[in-house]
Structure 1
């Protein structure tokens, strides 16, 4: 009887907690500081690359990223051994990484030297360092675009004691990555309009990527390289965007936009719920093998608005202009190019730069990207993908030699609930954007990418509309309801059915002083081919404002529903994307209180084409007690032992009488 009862208790307890153990977890007690790898960002230093060397340089830059990913994966697999012998990190990881980077940097210098002047000093960027996971957000950029250690000093070259829990993928997020939006002071201002300014707006309606088009490529940063981003992107608009898409491919592509004259491509890192589920990419590069785990969330609403300039008229964007806003590596690079902007519906006059928002009940999570809106008048791209465009000054003016173009304001709304930080996301799962593995899913790494493939006639119409102060475009009146497909069979109940108030434990974070770092080119204006994967879809919601202005609409209480994707695309490989969103100088964030991050579990996987087929159902891992009945057979056996023992005891006592 004792043995049977014990077997029942142990098995039931283990099964009931198994799901929570496999979901994203955040250590909320002691601070355990797991290491991450910082390497100088070579791409940002290469401001001039001859056209003849560009292909070779792009391939080598992608290879540098792959080397860091592989080193980080090795670091996390070897964490226990390195803790016992700190010197092992240098011998087996950091020194070999330096040698590989030196070889790649040599090839970059050779490629540029064959076409022009050979760059000097690249080899100085070969060495990388280990930093504890509580460094990064506090770093400041050096004049050359790198990062300097935070005020706490240089991190130890060995992992600190233990590895902190850090999400379903083992590399974040952590509790300190979230802040209660109600504790943030209003920090959004709008430049005053002046005589001669352009006050109109033009909207494009391109859906929410309900057909599930994503990949881990980045045709801007790593053209011709599969898995160049090492994380997955949502795509709307152009339907042919992958690493191998030529300008002609983009021009001839289909589009999800209501106005077929807009074949532009809009993409950003997917948002995932770390709820224990595994997507089809769970064992693929860019997905689970690189720490990007959990269920991809379909946006409730996406609005694309092109705005004017407060001080001047705007000119037409050149066709195939590329703009990257934000920095996908901002956690280790420092915030110089970061432009993340996180908020909640009803609170959009409060923007967060380096925290995910905890929204109150009835309020949805909002990501806003305000793109650079000053163009050099000559180039559609630049070697570092930044210097050909710039942000407006605080007064709305463009730098000398630049001219104002329509500013893309991209607003993405998700019906996801505030995670339960007090139990590591077991009750209500954590959410986070995909990132490079060593960037630990930090919100400051959020970023957006845009390629202008508007028909020239439609671009002229946009500019005329904005300059004349009118409101125009397919999404001008209201955003059409989000597309979605109903599941063909029931799914598990979602923990995110409706937003809940943030747990009391999370409200200890207090707003810090506004950050002062600004994107490198100019201060930003103040914030006012994939496979069909199953995604959480929050649709059929009330319409939202098409701009990033503070919301005055009543928060939506629409529940989200788990649905399957209706279609598939072409999944190439993950690509990296830079980010730039919310003005750093106006973002007020909560002070980190816990930086525990777990090591990434997973094997190093070469970046090759995946060619995966559309998935029709989530690959669910073992869930809670209701889902794991099959795994309760030991409890059933124990119950039989317990019952048999009781019967035998009863008979023995009866015979004794």
Structure 2
């Protein structure tokens, strides 16, 4: 499997995860140090292990989502600091999973040796962010310091909250089941990484029809309004363009995503691509006037395969292991609005849908839809589907389709866009634009679950601390259609035609 080989520039954020600090298995995935199965099992020094719930991951408040008014000239520096905060969480999580013996002997180890120092390091970056905003003529939010503290999440709780404002530094908190034994020991399924676990999967036949309960991503069009469609045929990443950057959220930062993305459309996608680079690039789309970039985290089959990135950041070094699965089908469709006509998207408009941190952030920005061919009226939000023989896994993302009419991006990369309301209308001040709907279909051997463990699971790449939860799925888009093509898209949709 190939990857993007464009020469990397010096990143703004801290790059290195010291290889010597990681415990590796096979392709370099972070491995759980699962030393003691019982709360009263004797440690090597013959002390009885304290009966505490073992922390399986780390929750840190998402500082970036609280930044609403960052002056344009400060955004590059602020995005760089936010990427450095992500690196800090990755480093802390790595320390969490490689110090299990110390944690077993000291109930305060996580707080004193991991969470406390992490809070101090985050406070330094928050101070820098405030300074950069204020120097550029803005006004930093007054409560950012409250977001410095992080919490440990034990196994056995429910789905992550995202309600904690970071004031508590203890080891309490939610978190979806990170292990199957009830005692808090993380379950690595024998492959050396935390997640997915058996509880992350569901038989598609057990998903009730029409039960998807997230308000986000409602399809924009219906039997009224603008009912046409425009489909862009851009392939399934036949050129093997992969990297762990995020041009929208972490521009200028190498490995800003900490997980690997598939790319179709624009062929010059990395953290250092300028708008001019995108406009001048080649495209995999059949219509060469569509140089838009469409990208999403890869799916992997955890079958022991060592991929090209088995020892790299974003890949095996951060727990994303196994064989990369390219979609058998990638449908990129733009649709209309229930209430009326749509207007053209501005060139270089950026949209992120879903939340790569929704396991710990909560579902406010989640927009996950998992299903199987033949069962697409059954949509799961927080479980990977187990499909019957002959059926394929389906990932669907229905993007925000209301634009503020002014900005191609915003400080938190969300505020310039909104989802349609229940009746299909846009919030006040927003205009309806063509809604991008991405449907990805995969041929995946159905995992089996035996004795509480899932065998050969598949999983979405994720930030390490997100434990490969299905609800962290997300999708990204930058519009790089030329003006004539965008006008054609709008005309097709508003006149009720189906175009390609």
Q: TM-score interval w.r.t. the shorter chain?
A: 0.7 to 0.9
- CA drift at 1:190: 6.8
In 2, distance between residues paired with 1:387 and 1:112?
A: 18
In 2, distance between residues paired with 1:168 and 1:233?
A: 22
In 2, distance between residues paired with 1:194 and 1:65?
A: 44
Alpha-carbon spacing, 1:107–1:334, altered in 2? closer, same or farther (3 Å): same
- CA drift at 1:163: 3.4
**Residue 117 of structure 2 corresponds to residue 89 of structure 1:** no
Residue from 374, 392, 395 that aligns with 2:423: 395
- Residue by residue over 1:364-385, the C-alpha shift from the partner in whole angstroms, topping out at 9 and shown as x without a partner, is 0000010000000000000001
Alpha-carbon spacing, 1:257–1:358, altered in 2? closer, same or farther (3 Å): same
Task: Verify the 8 A CA contact 1:24 1:275 in the aligned structure 2.
Answer: no
SS state at 2:309 partner: helix
**Residue 138 of structure 2 corresponds to residue 110 of structure 1:** no
| Partner residue in 1 for 2:93 | 72
**Residue 326 of structure 2 corresponds to residue 298 of structure 1:** yes
RCO (CA 8 Å, sep 6+): is it higher in 1 or 2? 1
In 1, distance between residues paired with 2:105 and 2:303?
A: 33
- CA drift at 1:137: 1.9
- CA drift at 1:395: 1.1
In 2, distance between residues paired with 1:444 and 1:136?
A: 13
Alpha-carbon spacing, 1:190–1:379, altered in 2? closer, same or farther (3 Å): closer
SS state at 1:412 partner: strand
Higher-helix-fraction structure:
1
In 1, distance between residues paired with 2:219 and 2:433?
A: 18
**Residue 408 of structure 2 corresponds to residue 385 of structure 1:** no
Alpha-carbon spacing, 1:52–1:24, altered in 2? closer, same or farther (3 Å): closer
**Residue 157 of structure 2 corresponds to residue 125 of structure 1:** no
In 2, distance between residues paired with 1:190 and 1:100?
A: 42
In 1, distance between residues paired with 2:232 and 2:70?
A: 34
Alpha-carbon spacing, 1:30–1:194, altered in 2? closer, same or farther (3 Å): farther
- Residue by residue over 1:38-58, the C-alpha shift from the partner in whole angstroms, topping out at 9 and shown as x without a partner, is 000000000110012111101
In 2, distance between residues paired with 1:336 and 1:30?
A: 36
Task: Verify the 8 A CA contact 1:308 1:467 in the aligned structure 2.
Answer: yes
**Residue 484 of structure 2 corresponds to residue 457 of structure 1:** yes
**Structure 1 residues without counterparts, runs of 5 or longer:** 1-17, 474-657
- CA drift at 1:119: 3.0
**Structure 2 residues without counterparts, runs of 5 or longer:** 1-24, 40-52, 213-217
Task: Verify the 8 A CA contact 2:220 2:337 in the aligned structure 1.
Answer: no
- CA drift at 1:192: 8.2
| Partner residue in 2 for 1:350 | 378
Alpha-carbon spacing, 1:192–1:321, altered in 2? closer, same or farther (3 Å): closer
SS state at 1:317 partner: coil
| Partner residue in 1 for 2:18 | none
Alpha-carbon spacing, 1:58–1:192, altered in 2? closer, same or farther (3 Å): closer
- Residue by residue over 1:549-608, the C-alpha shift from the partner in whole angstroms, topping out at 9 and shown as x without a partner, is xxxxxxxxxxxxxxxxxxxxxxxxxxxxxxxxxxxxxxxxxxxxxxxxxxxxxxxxxxxx
Alpha-carbon spacing, 1:166–1:134, altered in 2? closer, same or farther (3 Å): farther
TM-score by length of 1: 0.64
Alpha-carbon spacing, 1:381–1:368, altered in 2? closer, same or farther (3 Å): same
Alpha-carbon spacing, 1:121–1:192, altered in 2? closer, same or farther (3 Å): closer
Task: Verify the 8 A CA contact 1:23 1:425 in the aligned structure 2.
Answer: no
Task: Verify the 8 A CA contact 1:169 1:292 in the aligned structure 2.
Answer: no
Alpha-carbon spacing, 1:452–1:333, altered in 2? closer, same or farther (3 Å): same
In 1, distance between residues paired with 2:198 and 2:142?
A: 42
In 2, distance between residues paired with 1:406 and 1:190?
A: 11
- CA drift at 1:210: 2.1
- CA drift at 1:124: 1.1
- CA drift at 1:148: 11
- CA drift at 1:237: 0.3
Alpha-carbon spacing, 1:414–1:147, altered in 2? closer, same or farther (3 Å): farther
- CA drift at 1:397: 0.6
- CA drift at 1:139: 2.5
| Partner residue in 1 for 2:15 | none
Per mean C-alpha deviation after superposition, the further-off stretch among 445-454 and 272-281 is 272-281
In 2, distance between residues paired with 1:229 and 1:433?
A: 13
In 2, distance between residues paired with 1:191 and 1:376?
A: 16
Per mean C-alpha deviation after superposition, the further-off stretch among 172-181 and 110-119 is 110-119
Name the count of aligned residue pairs: 443
| Partner residue in 1 for 2:247 | 219
- CA drift at 1:424: 7.0
Residue from 190, 197, 203 that aligns with 1:180: 203
